[in-house]
Amino acid sequence: GAVVSQHPSWVICKSGTSVKIECRSLDFQATTMFWYRQFPKQSLMLMATSNEGSKATYEQGVEKDKFLINHASLTLSTLTVTSAHPEDSSFYICSARFLGQEDNEQYFGPGTRLTVT
Amino acid sequence: EDKVVQSPLSLVVHEGDTVTLNCSYEVTNFRSLLWYKQEKKAPTFLFMLTSSGIEKKSGRLSSILDKKELFSILNITATQTGDSAVYLCAVRTGTASKLTFGTGTRLQVTL
């Protein structure tokens, strides 16, 4: 079946540094990728929707200059958390919707746990 | 603003019990409702429901949607400890397939 991978699976960084998270679709071409954030014991919150070759659409309250999304190909989207702060520590999950699928569920990646110290 | 509410927030049952998890929603441009199971990592897909009154079933799990009353239930019969997880309900809206998630129901099945 369809597989979505994320790298890294976990990362610890110092406050003020930037972190890049990759989301890859392994067996299919993903027309749309979604980035979610999940704080402990809370549900997934959509941050942005990313379409290949165009600018991402950010949800209200998500700073586009802080969370840079690049969707350069049909199999790769990246999320860069710039100037990370401890409050950015969270579980970041991507999901993908693939080309040719009419009305489907999204395939989720395994998530990346970011800890900012 | 789209809203998805799940109840109860958490639940502890004994192995063998039957549980019913609830999800109600208030959204614009409804497309479908999805149930996911989340253990320690990313959610895994359980069901997608688009039509009212048609039960979807997979083993001991089943789900149904009521588009008039704007809710769905997820039933788990003969629960096992492996069913312990957070169950997430999400509603898909619009043409961009945006998913709005509920807060989840944390289910714990004890021996």
Query: Among all residues of chain B, which has the CA nearest to that of A58?
Result: B98
Report d(CA B87, CA B19) in Å as an integer.
12
Residues of A within 8 A of B90 (CB-CB) are 44
Strand locations in chain A (E): 4-7, 10-13, 19-25, 30-38, 45-51, 57-58, 67-73, 76-81, 90-98, 107-108, 112-116
Tell me the per-residue pLDDT of A43-99, one tens digit each, with 9 for 90 and over. 899 999 988 888 899 999 999 999 999 988 889 999 999 999 999 999 999 998 876
Residues of A within 8 A of B101 (CB-CB) are 43-46
Query: Among all residues of chain B, which has the CA nearest to that of A42?
Result: B103
Residues of A within 8 A of B45 (CB-CB) are 105, 107-108
* B88/A32 touch (CB, cutoff 8 Å), yes or no: no
How confident is the model at residue A71, as a pLDDT? 87
- Taking any CB pair shorter than 8 Å as contact, residues of chain A touching chain B are 32, 34, 42-46, 49, 57, 93, 95, 97, 103-111
DSSP assignment letter at A26:
S
Tell me the per-residue pLDDT of B17-66, one tens digit each, with 9 for 90 and over. 999 999 999 998 899 999 999 998 888 889 999 989 999 999 999 999 99
* B101/A44 touch (CB, cutoff 8 Å), yes or no: yes
pLDDT band at residue A103 using 50, 70 and 90 as cut-offs = low
Which of B97, B101, B103 best probes binding to A when mutated, by most A CB atoms within 10 angstroms?
B97
Report d(CA A45, CA A87) in Å as an integer.
15
pLDDT band at residue B70 using 50, 70 and 90 as cut-offs = very high
How confident is the model at residue B42, as a pLDDT? 83
Question: How many residues does this entry show for chain B?
Answer: 111
Closest-CA distance, B16 to chain A, in angstroms, reads 26
Question: How many residues does this entry show for chain A?
Answer: 117
Report d(CA A112, CA A91) in Å as an integer.
6
Backbone angles phi, psi at B108, to 5 degrees: -120, 125
For the segment B85-101, the average pLDDT, to the nearest whole number, is 88
Report d(CA A53, CA A4) in Å as an integer.
19
Residues contacting residue B34 through CB under 8 Å, at least 6 positions apart? A105, B45, B46, B47, B48, B49, B89, B90, B91, B92, B99
Report d(CA A11, CA A115) in Å as an integer.
6
Share of chain B above pLDDT 90, in %: 78
